[in-house]
A and B are shown apart, each in its own frame.
Chain A
């Protein structure tokens, strides 16, 4: 069973609107959580990295939140642009384990 679950699987939003993606994980003991953007046919690009003590982190129009107690994270995209169309992947790493746990991703489609 995947230790990182993302929802929704996909979503379509209009340009300029906001959206929020969810990530629930069971990875333990927790080290850090990362959100990546993956354009079709490209490798993942890091958006944010959060450790246990961080509740929120922003990168431009992307804001990630983390609740380590409930093991939930969200990625909020503000004022979406057509270029935001991509798959967004939540990745969690455990302490003392170099292997990463990947979510299946949320595919975001931004339409004009």
Chain B
């Protein structure tokens, strides 16, 4: 149990275009989902926290208009990188929790975004 799936696993896009990454909880209802970004050889950095049906809470320094997060259902959250630039190239990982903020969250397999 506790399977979280991300799609796509990797994506290459042109600078200026938008990319959508999906995060699904396959066998449980995720009331809370977290989005992280990870640069090579660095820690996971929390970008935002989203609760189903409400607006996401963004961490300081993360542009909410650039990284659009939608958590419209209990099994799906999406992260859209708008007007992507090469510096947005990174590994994006989501995690999902069934019991809210303080319950263990399970990680997806990550999405490698390359902006050319």
Contact = CB atoms under 8 A, between A and B. Distances in A.
Secondary structure class of chain A's binding surface, majority of residues: loop
Interface string A33-62: 000100001111110010000000000000
A64 to B, nearest CB: 16
Taking residues whose C-beta sits less than 8 angstroms from the other chain, chain A's interface range is 20 to 34
Contacts of A4: 43
A49 B104 contact: yes
Contacts, number: 43
A60 B102 CA distance: 27
A43 B49 CA distance: 17
A85 B116 CA distance: 30
A70 interface: no
Contact of B42 (A45, A49, A104): A104
Contacts of B104: 46, 49
Interface of A: 2, 4, 9, 36, 41-46, 49, 89, 98-100, 102-105, 107
22 contacts: A2-B43, A41-B9, A41-B10, A41-B112, A42-B109, A43-B4, A43-B6, A43-B93, A43-B107, A43-B108, A43-B110, A44-B44, A89-B43, A89-B44, A98-B101, A99-B46, A100-B46, A102-B44, A102-B45, A103-B43, A104-B43, A107-B41
